Structure 1
Amino acid sequence: MLPTSRPTAPRRRLRAALLTAAAACLVAAVLPPPEPTPLGIGDPLFPHLGNPGYDVAEYDIAFTYHGGNTTPLDAVTKIDAWATERLERVNLDFSHGTVSAVQVNGLPAEFATAGEDLVVEPLLPLEAGSRLRITVEHTSDPRGEGSAGGWVRTSDGLAMANQADAAHRVFPSNDHPADKALFTFRITAPSELTAVANGVRESKKKHGSTTTWGYRTRHPMATELAQVSIGTSAVPTREGPGGLPLRDVVPAKDRTALERWLKKTPDQLKWMEGKVGRYPFETYGVLIADAETGYELETQTLSLFERRLFVNGLFPEWYVDSIMVHELAHQWFGDSVSPRTWADLWLNEGHATWYEALYSEEKAGHPLEARMREAYRRSDQWRAEGGPPAAPKPPSPGQKISLFRPVVYDGSALVLYALRQTIGNDAFDRLERAWVSDYRDGTATTQDFARLAGRIADRDLTAFFQGWLYAERTPAMPGHADWRTSVPAKAAVPAKPPAR
């Protein structure tokens, strides 16, 4: 039947819409999709780190270790997340492994690499607010330049050192501390080895010549704090304050020799809790690895230390104790309260250095004021070399851990000393406790800290923080008019401090 009159307006609009849709499909069929490109969340120091459009809730990561620390591990990484915007593609940070298959919500997905991103294209677009599960079958390669981070090869296996941007050398992820998530690890290894990871062990199952170990965190964690240790290890246990379960991971051959250090942890925890409140996680311990990394690291619930720090006799006891407290303090400052951007790093390292120095004063008689006066003397030079504490210069090309310069350690602890001089000891102590309580299990910025300090001190601290955190030259130290800085020199960048 042919129509005897012209279509009405709604029918004309419908016909136009159908023609437009048909034209769009024709164009899509003719034009190839845009090339995969690496993305980022806009961190000024690591512009391609992290990815927009989704929020990770949980990682479930399975590693199969075949018994040689130069052989790639087989792995399956499952990522449960929420789409925060409509996504036709999902970018994950991942490098240093081979991807064999990807699924999104149980359906096969196309994938490609772009820079250090794995770009996943699901069969159907993901709508904002929808839940998604991404499953990636891949290898995880421990070979390569050790200074780049990721897997650390030890004398008997592997450990992890992912700070600042190296977790994606180990597993696909949204590799930025702004997106914290729960973690489950399942590690299969030859049964003569021991596998340990962040959190609490939930399972251990033997299958012939291999054993699968299962661990889960009970608090969200940044990817840079993930830890998996595989090796010929002993795992001594004990109790901390309030019955907190403690477990250490050490080379089995050194179990007895290291006990004098391991038994210090309960008292160190008690000391830290006396300063800032209850320990924020489900367990704690130290992982002593027979490897040379050049640093120690605050991986969540299981801090990484080099074996030589404890057994070579090169360092005095008070110094080793203070480094142990430095990494312990990070469990509050950096792990529980994580930086929103990497420019907020001073909040991590400045606080850990502060409690390291305070512990040395109270327990070993090394005056905090003397250390801060020396830091003040050198502060202008540190600012010239690395930038102000809250506006650090980008890391050197190809040396991303060069971000960890003296200005974020003693140079940032100096800011806290100046703040205490300004607002008084009582207000400062209340600020520290409120900071780790108010932002527990979350992320926070320099601006958050400044606002909280002003509220607790009941005064405007804008000028204080502007000068101490962002100025090229160090302000005058309150209460110490005689302190002077040295003239900044164009010296070589100092060696990286031993603790991160």
Structure 2
Amino acid sequence: MLLKPRLKAALLAAASLSLLAASAPSPAAPLGIGDPLFPHLGNPGYDVRSYDISFTYRGSNTEPLDAVTKIDALATERLDRINLDFAQGEVRGVEVNGRPARFVSMGEDLVVTPRTALPAGSRMRVTVRHTSDPTPDEKYEGGWVRTGDGLVMANQADAAHLVFPCNDHPSDKAQFTFRVTAPREYTAVANGLAAGRERAGADTSWTYRTVHPMATELAQVAIGRSTVVHRKGPHGLPVRDVVPTEDRETMERWLRKTPDQIAWMERKVGRYPFEAYGVLVADAETGFELETQTLSLFERSLFTRTEFPEWYVDSIMVHELAHQWFGNSVSPRTWSDLWLNEGHATWYEALYAEEKAGQPLADRMRDAYRQSDQWRAMGGPPASPKRPAPGQKISIFRPVVYDGSALVLYALRQEIGRAAFERLERQWVARHADGVATTADFVALASRVADRDLSGFFQAWLYGEKTPKMPGHPQWRAVTAG
């Protein structure tokens, strides 16, 4: 439904019709920043600097939470309207810079009309009073996940707007403050560091703040009957694990591995990029683990299913840890750059399995090479993935962006040598820390480190329909796609 715009009451009655037409704001409509995979998400015209989000949990994970989201942003162009991504919640009121504003929900956008237009370069605070509904909706994937004792978030890809209003695209990173009120028998945790806890009657209010900017898809708030376990990592890094209280002893054999895993990653790519890290164990079957910033989300069953060998669980833990550098600190500018996240996380997962458990990297890469043409036919080349089907955003996480993209990194190491490859990895995460980057940025840096133009190499490996010959392994063969 397209609503007709209302003219501002402040316009002079004597203004001419032509002046009225020139001054009227554009009609309210869903917008996007034109991401190749999700063109209708993200919003133009402003840059979010920070979010301050409050949730009130009543003790039932089947009922909507009361919430207030405050967004501080900089207008990068004149704004007659402000589009936010938001769905799956009731909006009760909106203010812009302390003044009530009109709003309407259209598609997955909340379209806000301030009383007066915001000039380019101005600061703005948008306050939205709303609910946050954990009820599953067949139209959407992600957002709140119900656990056996509460809730956690799983906002990848572009699903944070199912939980709170935001500019839901990884290219617009911001600082976050979370304030969570819950019955005192529950524990609430979120990204970043604890910044306060207060008890009032039967409730406890918890506050957490990030130190580094974060993409919306990496936000995490977990509420449950949990125990928080503290220990130290390298250089005194705070390591905070969150587990169901009843599983505290069972999980310890896994949790105590994290400091050494961080130290291993630091030897590969440099200092851990954030203020804290930890493992969040959820009593839920999601079908995935998730690298939410500073607090990676894991299914309880990963650690309890006896058919998983220890080396496999260890390597999955390292996969999510590696994302803290690749995907979190250095975030993709578009979702087509996803291979940079998942390819690197898979690379270090496989490298850890080789070094710590004797699982040969070359064997895994040879098997990936064999399947690579089929993966490309199914999902597109690594850096030019096919768009997901409507309502199936998570389907972009295909084999080609995991082992298929780690295969590209293996080919690169074969092409430029181990020493140059390791310099590239360190320079990549250092140069783009706390920022966003593209595939073109990676190609350019790799060419500088190798001291030769690698654009042809990457064009074939990242965009070709067929997998190129593997440097150093001309005998490897790919199965023909059927």
Shift of 1:23: 3.4
Question: Is the contact made by 1:180 and 1:220 (CA closer than 8 Å) also made in structure 2?
Answer: yes
Shift of 1:165: 1.3
In structure 2, C-alpha distance between the alignment counterparts of 1:397 and 1:39, rounded to whole Å: 17
Q: Secondary structure at the match of 1:235?
A: strand
Q: Could you tell me which residue of structure 2 aligns to residue 385 of structure 1?
A: 378
Query: Percent identity between the aligned chains?
Result: 71
Structure 1: which amino acid aligns with 2:399? P
Shift of 1:144: 1.4
In structure 1, C-alpha distance between the alignment counterparts of 2:194 and 2:276, rounded to whole Å: 10
**1:218-250 deviations in Å (ceiling 9; x for gaps):** 000000000000000000000000100000010
CA RMSD of aligned residues (A): 1.5
Shift of 1:400: 1.1
Q: Could you tell me which residue of structure 2 aligns to residue 409 of structure 1?
A: 402
**1:9-44 deviations in Å (ceiling 9; x for gaps):** xxxxxxxxx999533455589xx9654211000101
Q: Secondary structure at the match of 1:205?
A: strand
Structure 2: which amino acid aligns with 1:56? V
Structure 2: which amino acid aligns with 1:198? N
Question: Is the contact made by 1:36 and 1:113 (CA closer than 8 Å) also made in structure 2?
Answer: no
In structure 1, C-alpha distance between the alignment counterparts of 2:426 and 2:415, rounded to whole Å: 18
Q: Could you tell me which residue of structure 2 aligns to residue 306 of structure 1?
A: 299
Match of residue 45, structure 1, among 37, 42, 57: 37
Match of residue 198, structure 1, among 191, 196, 206: 191
In structure 2, C-alpha distance between the alignment counterparts of 1:223 and 1:19, rounded to whole Å: 44
In structure 1, C-alpha distance between the alignment counterparts of 2:479 and 2:22, rounded to whole Å: 64
In structure 1, C-alpha distance between the alignment counterparts of 2:425 and 2:452, rounded to whole Å: 17
Describe how 1:18-57 pairs up with structure 2 within 5 A. 21-24=15-18, 35-57=27-49
Does residue 249 (structure 1) correspond to residue 242 (structure 2)? The answer is yes
Shift of 1:378: 0.4
Structure 2: which amino acid aligns with 1:465? F
Q: Secondary structure at the match of 1:148?
A: coil
Question: Is the contact made by 2:178 and 2:208 (CA closer than 8 Å) also made in structure 1?
Answer: yes
For residues 234 and 466 of structure 1, do their structure 2 counterparts lie closer, same or farther at Cα, with a shift above 3 Å needed?
A: same
Structure 1: which amino acid aligns with 2:206? W
**1:291-350 deviations in Å (ceiling 9; x for gaps):** 010000000000000000001223110000000000000000000000000000000000
Q: Could you tell me which residue of structure 1 aligns to residue 155 of structure 2?
A: 162
Shift of 1:395: 1.1
In structure 2, C-alpha distance between the alignment counterparts of 1:25 and 1:390, rounded to whole Å: 48
Question: Is the contact made by 2:25 and 2:80 (CA closer than 8 Å) also made in structure 1?
Answer: no
Does residue 139 (structure 1) correspond to residue 131 (structure 2)? The answer is yes
Q: Could you tell me which residue of structure 1 aligns to residue 413 of structure 2?
A: 420
In structure 2, C-alpha distance between the alignment counterparts of 1:104 and 1:139, rounded to whole Å: 18
For residues 446 and 27 of structure 1, do their structure 2 counterparts lie closer, same or farther at Cα, with a shift above 3 Å needed?
A: closer
In structure 2, C-alpha distance between the alignment counterparts of 1:432 and 1:221, rounded to whole Å: 21
Q: Could you tell me which residue of structure 1 aligns to residue 459 of structure 2?
A: 466
Q: Secondary structure at the match of 1:202?
A: strand
In structure 1, C-alpha distance between the alignment counterparts of 2:359 and 2:14, rounded to whole Å: 76
Describe how 1:189-338 pairs up with structure 2 within 5 A. 189-338=182-331
In structure 2, C-alpha distance between the alignment counterparts of 1:78 and 1:427, rounded to whole Å: 45
Q: Could you tell me which residue of structure 1 aligns to residue 87 of structure 2?
A: 95
Describe how 1:442-457 pairs up with structure 2 within 5 A. 442-457=435-450
State the aligned residue count: 470
Structure 2: which amino acid aligns with 1:446? T
Structure 2: which amino acid aligns with 1:68? S
In structure 1, C-alpha distance between the alignment counterparts of 2:469 and 2:457, rounded to whole Å: 10
Q: Secondary structure at the match of 1:359?
A: helix
Shift of 1:399: 1.4
Give ranges in structure 2 of 5+ residues lacking alignment. Answer: 1-11
Structure 1: which amino acid aligns with 2:54? A
In structure 2, C-alpha distance between the alignment counterparts of 1:112 and 1:34, rounded to whole Å: 14
* More displaced stretch, 35-44 vs 52-61: 35-44
In structure 1, C-alpha distance between the alignment counterparts of 2:39 and 2:235, rounded to whole Å: 43
**1:340-365 deviations in Å (ceiling 9; x for gaps):** 00000000000000000000000000
Question: Is the contact made by 2:170 and 2:215 (CA closer than 8 Å) also made in structure 1?
Answer: yes
Q: Could you tell me which residue of structure 1 aligns to residue 6 of structure 2?
A: none
In structure 1, C-alpha distance between the alignment counterparts of 2:300 and 2:154, rounded to whole Å: 15
Give ranges in structure 1 of 5+ residues lacking alignment. Answer: 1-17, 490-500
In structure 2, C-alpha distance between the alignment counterparts of 1:483 and 1:377, rounded to whole Å: 7
Shift of 1:406: 0.2
Q: Could you tell me which residue of structure 1 aligns to residue 362 of structure 2?
A: 369
Q: Secondary structure at the match of 1:250?
A: strand
Q: Highest CA radius of gyration, 1 or 2? A: 1
Does residue 65 (structure 1) correspond to residue 28 (structure 2)? The answer is no
Structure 1: which amino acid aligns with 2:108? E
Structure 1: which amino acid aligns with 2:345? A
Question: Is the contact made by 1:337 and 1:439 (CA closer than 8 Å) also made in structure 2?
Answer: yes
Structure 2: which amino acid aligns with 1:414? L
Structure 2: which amino acid aligns with 1:66? R
Q: Could you tell me which residue of structure 1 aligns to residue 342 of structure 2?
A: 349
